[in-house]
């Protein structure tokens, strides 16, 4: 058995995680590293580290060669020119790669510099290039690799030797690959600073001590962790991982992003409604919570729409996401009470009024006072069959969100002294609630309907029941029916959580439920409020138990799909593993579990 050599700096008691699932990164930085299988210069896939950087790569008619390269660069340890097996251990502030012959460590020195140092072994970086990408040795000891879609990576060998080599494509008249090798100097050590930028940059005249950077990152993470609520003891490790995933997804200003904001995951953009979820978990600090809630509103257009996604390069208004913000604000007001000052409320009021205005004008084209979704992505469950009869669709979950948004606006208006407006919001909210109950409840469940024709759309998805988020605002006969359906294993109940779509069968075999954290969030609080605490406690415990093995993910599957079943990609691929969104949802659910268990 091989013994792998480490630095001894990471002890068994330290909080560590596996970078096969948890990307190694740092708050403010756009870079991250994962351990996976990536292509090498021979064209084969092998176990390597992958260097990633935001943002998502948008679909294009012509697929570029590098778009099939899964990461920006693949990285692996080498000894004597030969690739060697390795294992990784990561703490929030340092990644250590151990091999039989020596080790390499990574840390972040401020947001744009990755610091790498090695003992007795070297590293090989490999990447594919497109026609307008390239590399150049700048003849001052630094080497630059640039990608049109990504930016510039500046390799600065602080100690040791760096060799860089391309692969020229005669036909395209460009280098289509680049390979960089860093190897130890005579002291059997190397040190490399890897800068990321969008424009031509300088190396630092000198670099801070590696260990200083590690300490700084550790402290930053620990300060961030302190803001988060507690969870039941057995999930404490998952909590630390979840908070870490959120911490690394908080990216700093660059390009179109003007302030710190939390992205969906390390390789994807910032979504319209995530900041609302994050704000809910930060109520220990009112400033932080409100600032986080407002972070997405910087990209709100003049009509009040929040873009579906933003990143440093694009603002995407193709769709949007549901106005969950009312739910979040009510929660924040409840938790923080007077700690939410008049100034906080004022800061939130106007952008939320604009948001409300957009949903009730540009998303109410038949002007009947009931808002609509224009397509699946706006609903958040892209595949929703509520759109099977056409567009636009007036949906019960959207109505519930707007009812709560109006209530939140009423409370904010009251706090800032606009009593008249507050009453108006409250009335609107009540009227819309009446409409929901009288026009959208068919005795068994909520229905959706086409805008304009009002043709009824019966659908068997969780959103026919998610207005339970209104809790006791709904009459008991409705909440009872909902609880019944949600507790029924033939409908929405599974041992590990409520499924998104009513139970179905394929060739007599049950199709596994897709259980998402976002679904649980929609229904659990309302169920608690209407007397179903035990059910919720049970569900949340088993849902959170899933994270003990898998860590937070976008969805869990009950079991494997039956043979021959050809469902959507959600049945076959794990999405959002250790994403900031899945992590914040976990924290919300686990902390709720702790509350109701006491």
Residues that bind other proteins (CB under 8 A): 58-62, 64, 130-132, 134-140, 142-144, 146-149, 151-152, 164, 166, 168, 173-175, 178, 198-200, 255, 301, 303, 305, 307, 313-314, 316-319, 358, 362, 365-367, 374-377, 382-385, 387-388, 390-392, 451-452, 568
- Which 3 state secondary structure label does DSSP give 592? helix
Nearer to other proteins, 174 or 596 (CB): 174
Give the residue with the Cβ less far from other proteins, 23 or 323. 323
CB of 437 to other proteins, least distance (A): 25
Residue matched to tokens 């490999």 = 126
> Measured between alpha carbons, how far is 593 from 527 in angstroms, rounded to an integer?
13
Q: Give the nearest distance from C-beta 417 to other proteins in angstroms.
A: 31
- CB-facing half-sphere around the CA of 560: CA atoms within 13 A: 3
Question: Which CB atom, from 58 or from 559, has the smaller least distance to other proteins?
Answer: 58
Query: Is the CB of 256 or the CB of 476 nearer to other proteins?
Result: 256
Closest to other proteins by CB, 25 vs 307, is 307
Quick one: which of 220, 241, 221 has its CA closest to 231? 241
Nearest to 217 by CA among 254, 187, 247: 247
Q: Distance between CA 153 and CA 200 in Å, rounded?
A: 10
| Cα torsion through 447, 277, 91, 89, rounded to 10 | 10
320 Cβ contact partners less than 8 Å away, ≥ 6 residues apart: 272, 305, 306, 307, 308, 377, 378
Give yes or no for a contact between 515 and 558, defined as CB atoms under 8 angstroms apart: yes
CB of 176 to other proteins, least distance (A): 12
Comparing CB distances to other proteins, the nearer of 61 and 82 is 61
Q: Provide the β-strand partners of residue 82.
A: 79
Q: Give the nearest distance from C-beta 269 to other proteins in angstroms.
A: 12
- Closer to other proteins by CB, 535 or 570: give it: 570
Q: How far is the CB of 178 from other proteins (least distance, A)?
A: 8
The answer to whether 16 and 89 have CB atoms below 8 angstroms apart is yes
Please identify which residue in the block is written with the tokens 């700096």: 9
Contact assessment for residue 280 and residue 332, using Cβ atoms and an 8 Å cutoff? yes
Task: Give the span between the Cα atoms of 515 and 517, in whole angstroms.
Answer: 7
Which of 346, 452, 457, 449 shows the shortest CA–CA distance to 399? Answer: 449
Calpha distance 278→323 (Å, rounded):
14
Q: Report, in Å, the least distance between residue 481 CB and other proteins.
A: 26
SS3 at position 499: coil
Tokens representing residue 120 in the block:
């007795």
Half-sphere exposure of 424 (CA within 13 A, CB side): 6
- Residue nearer to other proteins on the CB measure, 237 or 506: 506
Between the CA of residue 218 and those of 74, 108, 118, 222, 244, what are the distances in Å?
Answer: 26, 10, 20, 6, 11
Least distance to other proteins, CB of residue 131, Å: 7
Nearest distance from residue 201's CB to other proteins, in Å? 9
d(CA 20, CA 2): 21
Q: How many beta carbons lie within 10 A of that of residue 223, not counting itself?
A: 11
Of 99 and 451, which CB lies nearer to other proteins in the complex structure? 451
The 10 Å CB-count burial string (b at 16+, else e) for 378-412 is bbbbeebebbeeeebbbbbbbbbbbbbbbbbbbbb
Residue with smaller CB distance to other proteins, 17 or 297: 297
User: Which C-beta is closer to other proteins: that of 1 or that of 139?
Assistant: 139
CB nearer other proteins, residue 136 or residue 476: 136
Query: In angstroms, what is the minimal distance from the CB of 61 to other proteins?
Result: 5
Coil, strand or helix at 309: strand
- Residue 176 burial by CB count (10 A; 0-12/13-18/19+): exposed, middle or buried? middle
- Which pairing describes strands 174-183 and 161-169: parallel, antiparallel, or unpaired? antiparallel
Dihedral angle, C-alpha 285, 288, 291, 295, nearest 10 °: -140
Helix, strand or coil, per DSSP, at residue 179:
strand
Q: Please say which residue, 15 or 317, places its beta carbon nearer to other proteins.
A: 317
Give the residue with the Cβ less far from other proteins, 390 or 489. 390
CA distance 203 to 301: 38
Q: Could you tell me the smallest distance in angstroms from the CB atom of residue 370 to other proteins? A: 13
List phi, psi (to 5°) of 503: -55, 135
CB of 464 to other proteins, least distance (A): 15
- Which CB sits closer to other proteins, 40 or 366? 366
Closest distance to other proteins from the beta carbon of 510 (Å): 21
Task: Return phi, psi of residue 206, to 5°.
Answer: -145, 160
């Amino acid at each position: 058995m091989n013994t792998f050599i480490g630095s001894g700096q990471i002890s068994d008691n330290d909080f560590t995680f596996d970078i096969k699932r948890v990307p190694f990164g740092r708050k403010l930085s756009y870079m991250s590293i994962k351990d996976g299988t990536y292509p090498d210069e021979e064209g084969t896939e092998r176990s390597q580290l992958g260097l990633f950087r935001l943002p998502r790569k948008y679909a294009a008619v012509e697929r570029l060669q590098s778009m099939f390269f899964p990461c920006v660069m693949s990285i692996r340890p080498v000894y004597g020119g030969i690739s060697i097996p390795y294992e990784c251990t990561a703490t929030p502030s340092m990644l250590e790669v151990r091999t039989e012959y020596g080790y390499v460590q990574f840390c972040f020195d401020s947001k744009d510099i990755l610091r790498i140092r090695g003992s007795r072994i070297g590293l090989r970086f490999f990447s594919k290039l497109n026609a307008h990408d390239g590399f150049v040795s700048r003849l001052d000891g630094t080497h630059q690799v640039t990608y049109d879609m990504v930016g510039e990576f500046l390799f600065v060998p602080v100690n040791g030797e760096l060799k860089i080599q391309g692969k020229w494509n005669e036909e395209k008249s460009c280098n289509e690959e680049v390979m960089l090798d860093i190897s130890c100097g005579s002291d059997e050590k190397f040190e490399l600073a890897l800068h990321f930028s969008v424009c031509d940059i300088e190396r630092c005249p000198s670099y801070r001590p590696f260990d200083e950077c590690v300490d700084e990152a550790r402290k930053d993470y620990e300060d961030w962790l302190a803001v988060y609520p507690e969870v039941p003891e057995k999930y404490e490790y998952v909590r630390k991982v979840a908070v870490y995933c959120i911490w690394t997804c908080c990216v700093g200003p660059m390009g179109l992003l003007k302030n710190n904001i939390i992205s969906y995951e390390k390789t994807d953009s910032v979504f319209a409604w995530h900041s609302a979820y994050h704000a809910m978990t930060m109520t220990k600090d009112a400033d932080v919570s409100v600032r986080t809630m407002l972070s997405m509103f910087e990209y709100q257009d003049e009509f009040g729409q929040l873009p579906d996604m933003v990143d440093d390069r694009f603002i995407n208004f193709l769709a949007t996401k549901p106005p969950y913000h009312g739910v979040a604000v009510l929660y924040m007001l409840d938790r923080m009470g007077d700690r939410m000052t008049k100034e906080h409320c004022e800061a939130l009021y106007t952008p939320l009024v604009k948001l409300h205005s957009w949903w009730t004008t540009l998303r109410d084209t038949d002007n009947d006072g009931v808002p609509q979704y224009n397509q699946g992505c706006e609903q958040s469950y892209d595949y929703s069959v509520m759109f099977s009869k056409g567009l636009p669709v007036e949906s019960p979950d959207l109505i519930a969100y707007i009812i709560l948004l109006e209530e939140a606006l009423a409370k904010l208006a009251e706090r800032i002294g606009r009593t008249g407006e507050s009453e108006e919001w409250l009335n609107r909210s009540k009227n819309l609630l009446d409409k929901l109950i009288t026009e959208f409840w068919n005795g068994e469940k909520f229905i959706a309907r086409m805008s304009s024709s009002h043709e009824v759309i019966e659908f068997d998805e969780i959103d026919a029941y998610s207005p339970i988020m209104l809790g006791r605002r709904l009459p008991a006969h409705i909440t009872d029916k909902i609880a019944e359906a949600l507790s029924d294993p033939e409908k929405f109940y599974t041992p590990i959580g409520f499924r998104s779509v009513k139970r179905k069968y394929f060739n007599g075999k049950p199709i596994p439920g897709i259980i998402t954290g976002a679904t649980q969030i929609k229904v659990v609080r309302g169920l608690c409020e209407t007397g179903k605490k035990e059910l919720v406690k049970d569900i949340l415990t088993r849902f959170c138990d899933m994270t003990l093995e898998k860590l937070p993910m976008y969805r869990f599957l009950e079991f494997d799909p039956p043979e021959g079943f050809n469902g959507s990609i959600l049945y076959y691929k794990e999405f959002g593993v250790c994403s900031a969104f899945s992590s914040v949802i976990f924290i919300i659910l686990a902390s709720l579990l702790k509350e109701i268990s006491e």
